[in-house]
Structure 1
Amino acid sequence: MLQLVNIRSNRDEIIASLKKRNIDAEALIDEVIALDEKRRSTQQVLDQNLNESKKLASEIGMLFKQGKQEEAQAAKSKTSDLKVVTQELDGVLKETESKLNTILSSIPNAPHSSVPAGKSSEDNETIRTWGDASDAPHHTPHWDLTSKYKLIDFETGVKITGAGFPIYTGRGAKLQRALIQFFIDEADAAGYTEVIPPLLINEASGFGTGQLPDKDGQMYYANEDNLFLIPTAEVPITNMYRDMIVDEADLPIKNVGYTPCFRREAGSYGKDVRGLNRLHQFDK
């Protein structure tokens, strides 16, 4: 989520940067700035009223001790008036903060300044390549290979659950398991700590890594428990450090984790979902 101090200081730069993502955020950014000004001014008046109330409370006791009943009662009356105003201001502050956080959570992160503008993948720039795809001896689609060698059973997966839930069989299952173990071992040798996280997360964790609120339609949801199936292991692993300040001396923190992952992939169709593309359950 974009930081308010950054939005206030770099309004034009952020608006221009978001346009690289084909997002016209000028109205939202200006609304954020206006709400932030309202929040800050309301907080300032609220703090002043609270300080005044404390000061009056101290004076009331002194006035009663000095026998100045009339002045003491006037101070008490003023305290009561301040309490009413303070409650109103507190309500305004909470409402303003709620609106502000809602808008902030809807604005995506701005890309790095080095990222080129583009409307589609056709505008992508090639940064680096390895090998030459044209040298491949054949171009057999993976779904034909998995069928020929009986590595994956897509049809039975559809019968048991539905499309996007393949069954790995025989050498396919062994290959899947071997690849997982290979990459975990490679990461371990490179100094990473293996983590086996929960497969379900709460709403705060989903918000913490940006899946919520805008990607809730892509996540499987357990309504009775208000929990979400994870779309990737990064979500629970990253949330291990949510609401924490990590000491620089403890950096870098290097974790690796394998989990089954679950995504609804709503809106995907055609060639984009054939074979192992756009699965609803996969290992990662």
Structure 2
Amino acid sequence: MISIFAKPAFEAKGHLMRVSSIIRGEQLAAYMPNARLNPPSGYENDICIYVKPMIRRGQDYKFEKHSYIDIHDGFELRHTLRKYPEVGCISISDHSTEVLVQYIKNKIVTIPHHHLNFERAKRADVRNVVTRVGVTGSPAAFQFIPEVIRKGLAERGMQLLEWSHFYPRTSVAKFHQNIDIHLEWRPWKKQLSSPLKITNAASFGVPTIALMFDEPSFKEVEGCYIGVNTPEECLAKIDELRSNPTLYNDIAKVCLKKAEKYHIDNISKLYLELT
């Protein structure tokens, strides 16, 4: 049996916090028949997974004998892992694992995020005309999308659709079903990162245009995105996808093929290998 411990998600200033608890806690516990979420007792002999626990540096914590910290993007948790070398670490990407081995000696198991398309649903409207660009994230993050891009899309008669509601899962899935291009625009790097947003879009056959294409974690899904360095280059690549249906369809096929690795069916099997 696997017991997953995750603090509930909550909203703060209009932004949903602890999305990791929904993805790695609620969704997995509901999907796997041998898993349960936040059991009050009887978990002493279980594989216990603590999803990005709120543990301050130096704070004592009682872990069970078969425990893992699902570190997600919580780089500060490396201090807790150093303090408890017997506790395993679950990493969200190959890149994150490469970073973590430089800081901790704990056992590290790489389990990527599953994407949101549990149903393997198809695009709602696969068209020859590409007009809708979608971006997901917190409202505060949307301010980093350059005005050059917003203006350029408007001049092309295209929509820029923003989505910041990550619950329920089906509403996020519906958003991805109705966009033609996914935009990943994060002008900063994280110590621990994953290509989750790209795989979410890829699961519907939606290509991504991504800033900072040298982001190491993106390499896991190479072929599903086009990397750019400037707003002008972003618009040029959008023009290419619009004017070249063969290019668009080729990327879409790669997206669907690579996204299968990240389906919850396949990701959940990795948890069965934990000891």
TM-score class normalised by the smaller sequence: under 0.3
Task: Report the TM-score when normalising by structure 2.
Answer: 0.24
Task: Report the TM-score when normalising by structure 1.
Answer: 0.24
Structure having the larger proportion of residues in helix: 1
